[in-house]
């Protein structure tokens, strides 16, 4: 099991994730984009190191407890990607997360890989921290979707947050469809699903139209994301290096039994960012309350 890192105290985004969208879905899901994304968003070289037992980033501890799971059973790793100057902690999700373009990936703070509990059945994003559950953690579209929440709600785009901007709502109104049924959940989930479509369109030769003949029915949504990401520095395009990150959350003791504490000898790992990396301000938001399988 594991985690990733980054963040700072900041402003609050209140998500009114209740109003469903009334546009019909174009397809039943985004599974048909997986093959092209895996082929053209290739893996990034990386190395990893397991933390000394007994220590965990505070945000990862919070997310584990919120899922009604034991923090004592968590293993934490730092992963160093070649295109990132400061290491990320995560677990067995190294390959898929590394395929997310680095300038988008840098807007994710921690990744926590958890077994499937009864009260959560999906991935979710809390203030830039992604929780990914075992039954769905092999889907690249989900990593891009959850990263899309970070880009939107942490302020990566010129229109910030993009999902609540007049610009997004005006472009959304021009389309007859949304990508899939999950996009109908609310405006935030629709934007995140369109982030997956935009990533496909930008990185796979021929673009979205190669696999979706009805692409014009939702053109204004994914095209808006493509324009915004380009203005922000080609966030969803493969290549480049990490230039900024959320600060790492505080390293804390796992706690639990004395046996676990005894194993946690030594000081905490150093999770300071490189001086070459700018700091992204933390924004509080939580998509878990509206999540379901495949979010």
Query: Is 109 a residue whose pLDDT tops 80?
Result: yes
Query: Is 83 a residue whose pLDDT tops 70?
Result: no
Does residue 172 form part of some domain?
yes
Does residue 19 form part of some domain?
no
Maximum mean pLDDT: which of 6-10, 112-116, 120-124, 231-235: 231-235
Does residue 1 form part of some domain?
no
Average pLDDT of span 84-89: 51
Query: Is 77 a residue whose pLDDT tops 50?
Result: yes
Does residue 62 form part of some domain?
yes
- Domains: count for the chain: 1
Does residue 235 form part of some domain?
yes
Q: How far, in Å, are 56, 150, 277 from residue 133 at the CA level? A: 18, 18, 29
Collapse the DSSP code of 95 into the 3-class scheme (helix H, G, I; strand E, B; otherwise coil) and give the result. Answer: helix
- Distance of alpha carbon 35 from alpha carbon 18, whole angstroms: 32
Does residue 10 form part of some domain?
no
- For residue 212, the enclosing domain spans 31-290
- Distance of alpha carbon 257 from alpha carbon 25, whole angstroms: 49
Does residue 243 form part of some domain?
yes
Does residue 129 form part of some domain?
yes
Query: Is 294 a residue whose pLDDT tops 50?
Result: no
- Distance of alpha carbon 51 from alpha carbon 266, whole angstroms: 11
Please report which confidence band the pLDDT of residue 134 belongs to, taking 50, 70 and 90 as the band edges.
Answer: low
């Amino acid at each position: 099991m594991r985690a990733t890192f980054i963040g700072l105290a900041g402003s609050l985004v209140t998500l009114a994730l209740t109003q469903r969208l009334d546009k019909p879905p174009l397809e039943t899901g985004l599974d048909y984009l997986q093959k092209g994304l895996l082929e053209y968003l290739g893996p990034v070289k990386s190395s990893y190191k397991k933390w000394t037992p007994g220590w965990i980033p505070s945000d990862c501890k919070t997310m584990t407890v919120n899922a009604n799971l034991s923090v004592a059973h968590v293993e934490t790793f730092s992963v160093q990607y070649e295109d990132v100057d400061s290491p990320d902690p995560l677990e067995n999700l190294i390959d898929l997360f590394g395929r997310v373009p680095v300038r988008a990936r840098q807007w994710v703070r921690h990744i926590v890989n958890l077994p499937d509990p009864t009260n959560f059945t999906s991935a979710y994003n809390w203030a830039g921290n992604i929780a990914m559950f075992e039954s769905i953690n092999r889907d690249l579209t989900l990593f891009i979707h959850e990263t899309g929440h970070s880009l939107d709600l942490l302020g990566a785009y010129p229109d910030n947050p993009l999902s609540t901007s007049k610009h997004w709502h005006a472009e959304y109104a021009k389309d007859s469809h949304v990508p899939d049924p999950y996009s109908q959940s609310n405006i935030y989930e629709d934007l995140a699903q369109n982030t997956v479509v935009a990533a496909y369109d930008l990185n796979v030769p021929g673009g979205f139209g190669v696999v979706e003949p009805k692409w014009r029915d939702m053109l204004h949504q994914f095209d808006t994301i493509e324009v915004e990401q380009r203005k922000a520095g080609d966030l969803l395009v493969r290549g480049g290096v990490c230039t900024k990150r959320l600060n790492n959350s505080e390293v804390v003791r796992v706690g639990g039994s004395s046996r676990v504490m005894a194993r946690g000898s030594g000081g905490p790992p150093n999770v300071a960012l490189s001086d070459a990396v700018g700091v992204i301000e933390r924004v509080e938001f939580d998509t878990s309350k509206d999540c379901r399988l495949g979010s």
